[in-house]
Structure 1
Amino acid sequence: MEWSWVVGCPCTADVKDCMLKINTLNYAQEACYNGTLVIKAFSSGLEIGSCNWILNGPKGDIAYLSSSCFFSAHAMTFDYHSLQKSCALIYSDFSFLSDAQDIEDGDNYSDPTSDLDRANLNSDENLEEKEKLVFICSCAVESVKDGGSVLIPINRLGAILQLLEEMTTLLEASAMQVPVYIISSVAEELLALLNIIPEWLCKQRQERLFAGEPLFAHVKLLKEKKIHVVPDIHSHKLLKDWQEPCIVFCPHWSLRLGPVVHLLRRWCGDPKSLLILEDLVNPELALLPFKPVAMKVLQCLFPSGIGMQKVQPLLKTLQPKTVLCPEDLRLQMSFSSEKSFSVLYYSEAETLKVPCRNNNSDLKIAADLASQFYWKTFKNEGINITRLKGKLLMENGRHHLHLDNDKKTSLRNSNSLVSCGLPDADKLLATLSNMGINASMEHGIDDAESQNVCIVHTEDPYKALIEIGNTGTSITTADANIASIIYKAIDDIFYGV
């Protein structure tokens, strides 16, 4: 983003406020949000710093899969292994919506038995991208030889770096002295940043770092003054050093903002000049304000996402429990009936409920505290239970138990026990009989809550009514001492904790 386009607008303060809320992450670094979500970024392989995300929470993890590339000559390889076996995966790669020809031909690549690793190691794709770069640069060099200039409003940093390397190599081989300009208010900062983020670069670039070599060729080219980086088109340095014909990298790819507007107006009538565009816009529509256009136009398509033929084997390898796909891709993506995951489709501005298959939450307890617990076993329920007093906190996406300083142990010796469950009516009658209290039992319905209840009547001198419902037990009597005696009888048939 060109900051100079924002300065002076009414929204400047809002943009600055938003920028202050941005946190930077290293590769695979954990960041915790609100104590609940643990967020990790993994390389998508599309660009330097472009990410896929894992969000870990108490009920499971969510993977966010954006546009990704399996091969790259500059960015870290697509780390899809880190996205494996998530509870839910949000698929958000729209890149193959443009693969209309493949769809029309009936090839939907829905065979899930393909081997993903074998597809990823296909060297033909790397060779194809290399040949594409050579072709683009050779067209640029030919235009310069004819006396024309070259304008490259490409927005992708990795593509710019590779074009710079290939283009300067061809110029040197042709023994041509042609100035190369990069006009951008953020270019100098971005080029400097490339030297301190090796974890986001591909293996080949990292090996250059360990060998003491520059990560990219622009470092050498800047020292030799073969490329010139300036912040804007009115820069004094640019006006002083400007020569034509030349090669210019500048924003914006839409041809509506930035230095490209001025330069395009300057060269649009020159048939010897060349405009290189990404295959993101309709050239007829983009060039409409500059007509008549005599300069040559070359459109190029760089890797922009997961190929349709790799979607099925990728999802088979990731093995999520649920896949969330955009509604726009419903017709393009057909899944095998033997798939191991469920598929849901989402639309913009709509809430989608995703089933949670993990109904339990993990609780982290320090070992020294856990060793002090006194457990009671409820065989019928198949659970162990203990009583304690403390605080349940959420930290780094996990529940943590912190006991009070004066309550390090369970309250086993306390006279006030907590009971679990409902009393058995037959056992209660037997216990009351052992205490010398005569009682009778009847069944009825509670009119207030419409539930079945068991009513126990005790006879004088312990006159009372005991009502046992589905959710609780109540004792009704006029004498507090009698209530205490009956309470003890009920408590005796429980396992107090």
Structure 2
Amino acid sequence: MKLRCLSKGGGFHFPPCHMMNICGFRILLECPVDLSALTIFSPIPTHSHPNPTAENSDQDEKSSNLASGSGKKRKIEKTLEAADLISAEPCYKTVGNLHLWDLSSIDIVLISSAMGILGLPFLTRNSKFSAMIYATEATRRLGQLMMEDLVSMHAEFVKFYGPEDSCFPQWMKLEELDMLPLSLRETVMGEDGMELWNWQALYSAGDVKDCIQKVHPLNYAEEACYNGTLIIKAFSSGLEIGASNWTIRGPRRNLTYLSSSIFESAHAMDFDYHTLQGSDLILFSDFSSLHKTISVSKNADGTAKLIKSAVKCSTSSSCSVLRDTANNGEEVVKSLVSTDESSEELDKLTFICSCAVNSVKGGGSVLIPIGRLGTILQLLEQISLSLESSNLKVPIFIISSVAEETLAFTNIVPEWLCKKRQERLFSGDALFRHSELINGKKLHLFSFVHSPDLLTMWQEPCIVFSPHWSLRLGPVVHLLQRWCGDHNCLLVLEQGVDVDLALLPFKPMAMKVLQCQLLSGIKIQKVQPLLEMLQPKLVLLPEDWRLQHLATNINSSSFLYYSENETLRVPSLMDDFEAGLGTDLAFQLQPRRMQQENMALARLKGELRLSLGKHFLVSSKEPIDYSHTQLLYWGTVDPNRLITDLNKKGIKAFVDKDGSVAENACLIHIDGTKRAIIEISSTRTVISTADETLAADIFETVSGVLDGI
């Protein structure tokens, strides 16, 4: 098996991506897009926020350019301004080096979440790509809606800038890139300058439709068999509705692909880790605990203020305490499933709601471009309850081209929801409260910000949920340009984007900004107890985990570490393999009980086949004719018994103790008118005589001493 990490990702919206070779098949794990890179582009200009004039740009360029030795000019590094951003139709940054792979060599693609499917149309629109794509039904549908919404929002850029004259945009030319500030240039090209080719023009609505038709949807724990060799199943990861971890069972290896997971969720089905027990190998691909945390904060003067703190790593001593105290399975489960995580997330949402209500009370509107469906559903419920308790009648809008389809879909996927949501279904209640809010005319859905119906109903203050969280495209741009100068308004963001860069086109900002980090995976303190319970033989961890002092003696598990853009060769964990026996072949067997050992052996002739990830022996077209088949002998010859049996036939034999023979061998002489020598070793018996009749008698006697089949 081989593993190559193509990208470590960048949080919830940009999951890691891997390429894996197993059982002769090449598997691509995730196909995301780095949408945080969109911040290098300038949003669509409006009358209130036009792009900087050409004259101002020329003056800035003259005052800040420096001639280099090659005669080229490059800007002196200074504080970024809105004029430094790229004013052009955006391209989209795909996973690094994925374009270098031969797409025809990819056999399988596994998608764990809707975020991991956004880059898939870049592959499926290529005629060389023919891989089988697997995703859960919920991930498939939510990913389709996200991609359709992305295409719809991007259309505004196409309308403004017009179609590109060539497939190579003007801003990607080297002379243009050389004029970019260093931070923007590194985002475009990477530190080594090799990431320029990762940028691609966005796919079309037709590409999305073709892509989704090629995705094979799976239900919870449903088996999918690829080429009769690999059995693939999806189990809930708890990260989002439909998000999954994968088990891959082959003839000689049982593997678990562990993506970002959450043990307890307030909306999605919890992390189903029990079904992952017994895997030979775990590919641990949850990088969330390795990122720095950003706490919920608000600055009184209306500017963005972030409180950053390093992740507290669990030390080896704390891990050993967990291991010592977890004497049984129940205690391990208690250490994994605690109410701390869910209560912390609830506190964050409660704080966001309180800030939103305070802004509304002050006459300001609230803009929430959070891109997590589950968080949006929970905030809708909590904010509406907070408004009711405060006796505030403030409209709530969701402005998105797929708002209606997305909310409707959440009411028909109970198998991917948490137990509390499922209990609502059995009691006859709605899974989520948004249906009640829509019927009560407290929540309003619109496809576009310039919709005539929206303009008719519009009133401020209000609370608006709208894409996109990058603050570069979608309705959020127009609303942010409208409210950025109002100190009573509030903008709610989540981690995953550089806030200073994201807000650059909207400065000066009087609007209050609230940013928080929502739980995106397994906390570092829970990794070791989880591995203790799963008991894998081998764990593949990111290289960054070496610094986390994770104990390497968990249930005798072995650890290997992988790095980005490096190939890791994983040793085989099984030298032999089991094979099942077909019923038709079993009835043909003629077992014979052995004299020397308590077993029965039988000869068979069949064909070795592979089906559903297991080897099977089935009957061949030509069955064995035992009447004309020479016996195969089993066991070792006992010299004393052989001499006794020969003497009974009148053949005088004795052991030659003085003869020169190999170690662990024995010579038996036969004297008389007919002579013979029998050489006995652990692996063979040789009869030497000139008389054919005597040779036949000796062979018959030896055959009686041995077991034959």
Query: Which TM-score tier does this pair reach, normalised by the shorter chain?
Result: 0.7 to 0.9
State the partner residue of 1:360. 577
Percent of aligned positions with the same letter in both sequences?
A: 51
State the partner residue of 1:307. 523
Using the TM superposition, give the Cα deviation of residue 251 of structure 1 relative to its aligned residue in structure 2, in angstroms: 1.9
Using the TM superposition, give the Cα deviation of residue 361 of structure 1 relative to its aligned residue in structure 2, in angstroms: 2.1
Asked if 2 retains the 8 angstrom alpha-carbon contact of 1:76 and 1:200, the reply is yes
State the partner residue of 2:8. none
Change beyond 3 A, Cα 1:299–1:374: same
> Are 1:317 and 2:533 an aligned pair?
yes
> Are 1:413 and 2:626 an aligned pair?
yes
Using the TM superposition, give the Cα deviation of residue 335 of structure 1 relative to its aligned residue in structure 2, in angstroms: 0.8
Q: Among 78, 81, 98, which residue is 2:274 paired with?
A: 81
> Are 1:138 and 2:354 an aligned pair?
yes
State the partner residue of 1:21. 214
Q: Among 310, 313, 317, which residue is 1:101 paired with?
A: 310
Using the TM superposition, give the Cα deviation of residue 420 of structure 1 relative to its aligned residue in structure 2, in angstroms: 8.0
Using the TM superposition, give the Cα deviation of residue 149 of structure 1 relative to its aligned residue in structure 2, in angstroms: 1.5
Using the TM superposition, give the Cα deviation of residue 496 of structure 1 relative to its aligned residue in structure 2, in angstroms: 7.0
The one-letter code of the counterpart of 1:301 is: Q
> Are 1:281 and 2:490 an aligned pair?
no
Change beyond 3 A, Cα 1:109–1:190: farther
Deviation per CA, 1:61-110: give whole Å up to 9, x if none: 11122221222211112211111121111111111112663547968742
Using the TM superposition, give the Cα deviation of residue 302 of structure 1 relative to its aligned residue in structure 2, in angstroms: 1.8
> Are 1:49 and 2:242 an aligned pair?
yes
Using the TM superposition, give the Cα deviation of residue 376 of structure 1 relative to its aligned residue in structure 2, in angstroms: 5.0
Deviation per CA, 1:429-470: give whole Å up to 9, x if none: x9xxx9xxxxxxx99xxxxxxxxxxxxxxxxxxxxxxxxxxx
State the partner residue of 1:180. 396
Using the TM superposition, give the Cα deviation of residue 4 of structure 1 relative to its aligned residue in structure 2, in angstroms: 4.3
Asked if 1 retains the 8 angstrom alpha-carbon contact of 2:490 and 2:514, the reply is yes
Q: Among 501, 507, 511, which residue is 1:295 paired with?
A: 511
The one-letter code of the counterpart of 2:626 is: N
Partner Cα distance (1:363, 1:62) in 2: 21
Using the TM superposition, give the Cα deviation of residue 336 of structure 1 relative to its aligned residue in structure 2, in angstroms: 4.9
Partner Cα distance (1:179, 1:185) in 2: 19
**What are the ranges of 5 or more consecutive residues in structure 1 without an aligned counterpart?**
435-441, 444-470, 473-486
Q: Among 99, 115, 123, which residue is 2:339 paired with?
A: 123
Asked if 1 retains the 8 angstrom alpha-carbon contact of 2:595 and 2:707, the reply is no
Partner Cα distance (1:30, 1:107) in 2: 39
SS of the residue aligned with 1:195? coil
The one-letter code of the counterpart of 1:246 is: C
Moved more, 375-384 or 214-223: 375-384
Asked if 2 retains the 8 angstrom alpha-carbon contact of 1:86 and 1:320, the reply is yes
Q: Among 69, 92, 110, which residue is 2:262 paired with?
A: 69
The one-letter code of the counterpart of 1:47 is: E
The one-letter code of the counterpart of 1:173 is: S
Asked if 2 retains the 8 angstrom alpha-carbon contact of 1:66 and 1:93, the reply is yes
Change beyond 3 A, Cα 1:403–1:338: closer
> Are 1:3 and 2:148 an aligned pair?
yes
Using the TM superposition, give the Cα deviation of residue 288 of structure 1 relative to its aligned residue in structure 2, in angstroms: 1.9
Partner Cα distance (2:582, 2:546) in 1: 45
State the partner residue of 2:428. 212
The one-letter code of the counterpart of 1:68 is: S
SS of the residue aligned with 2:217? coil
Q: Among 487, 500, 519, which residue is 1:271 paired with?
A: 487
Deviation per CA, 1:136-188: give whole Å up to 9, x if none: 11111111222222111111111111100000111122222222122223332
Change beyond 3 A, Cα 1:130–1:496: same
The one-letter code of the counterpart of 2:282 is: L
Asked if 2 retains the 8 angstrom alpha-carbon contact of 1:346 and 1:352, the reply is no
Change beyond 3 A, Cα 1:109–1:18: farther
Partner Cα distance (1:5, 1:77) in 2: 28
Partner Cα distance (1:268, 1:152) in 2: 13
The one-letter code of the counterpart of 2:568 is: T
SS of the residue aligned with 2:569? coil
The one-letter code of the counterpart of 2:211 is: C
Asked if 2 retains the 8 angstrom alpha-carbon contact of 1:108 and 1:308, the reply is no
Change beyond 3 A, Cα 1:4–1:69: closer
Asked if 2 retains the 8 angstrom alpha-carbon contact of 1:108 and 1:332, the reply is no
Partner Cα distance (1:375, 1:201) in 2: 54
Using the TM superposition, give the Cα deviation of residue 307 of structure 1 relative to its aligned residue in structure 2, in angstroms: 1.4
SS of the residue aligned with 1:24? strand
Change beyond 3 A, Cα 1:302–1:288: same
Deviation per CA, 1:318-369: give whole Å up to 9, x if none: 1111111111222124215464211111223413213313622232533x65
Q: Among 233, 250, 253, which residue is 1:60 paired with?
A: 253
Partner Cα distance (1:78, 1:10) in 2: 33
Deviation per CA, 1:264-318: give whole Å up to 9, x if none: 2222222111110112223112212322222111012222211111111111111
The one-letter code of the counterpart of 1:272 is: N
> Are 1:160 and 2:373 an aligned pair?
no
SS of the residue aligned with 1:243? coil
Change beyond 3 A, Cα 1:239–1:385: farther
Partner Cα distance (1:63, 1:369) in 2: 34
Asked if 2 retains the 8 angstrom alpha-carbon contact of 1:363 and 1:401, the reply is yes
Q: Among 30, 51, 71, which residue is 2:223 paired with?
A: 30
Q: CA RMSD in A?
A: 4.8
Change beyond 3 A, Cα 1:21–1:140: same
The one-letter code of the counterpart of 1:365 is: G
Asked if 2 retains the 8 angstrom alpha-carbon contact of 1:102 and 1:108, the reply is no
Deviation per CA, 1:217-273: give whole Å up to 9, x if none: 011112122112223334444344333222111222222332222222222222111
Asked if 1 retains the 8 angstrom alpha-carbon contact of 2:269 and 2:417, the reply is yes
Q: Among 415, 420, 439, which residue is 1:223 paired with?
A: 439
Partner Cα distance (1:351, 1:118) in 2: 34
Using the TM superposition, give the Cα deviation of residue 397 of structure 1 relative to its aligned residue in structure 2, in angstroms: 1.5
Asked if 1 retains the 8 angstrom alpha-carbon contact of 2:596 and 2:707, the reply is no
Partner Cα distance (1:51, 1:270) in 2: 42
Partner Cα distance (2:313, 2:235) in 1: 34
The one-letter code of the counterpart of 1:5 is: L
State the partner residue of 2:458. 242
Change beyond 3 A, Cα 1:286–1:88: same
Change beyond 3 A, Cα 1:317–1:413: same
The one-letter code of the counterpart of 1:88 is: L
The one-letter code of the counterpart of 1:26 is: N
Deviation per CA, 1:15-72: give whole Å up to 9, x if none: 5443222122222222222211111211112211111121122223111222212222
Partner Cα distance (2:629, 2:350) in 1: 83
Partner Cα distance (1:105, 1:394) in 2: 45
State the partner residue of 1:258. 474
Moved more, 48-57 or 102-111: 102-111
Aligned positions, number: 486
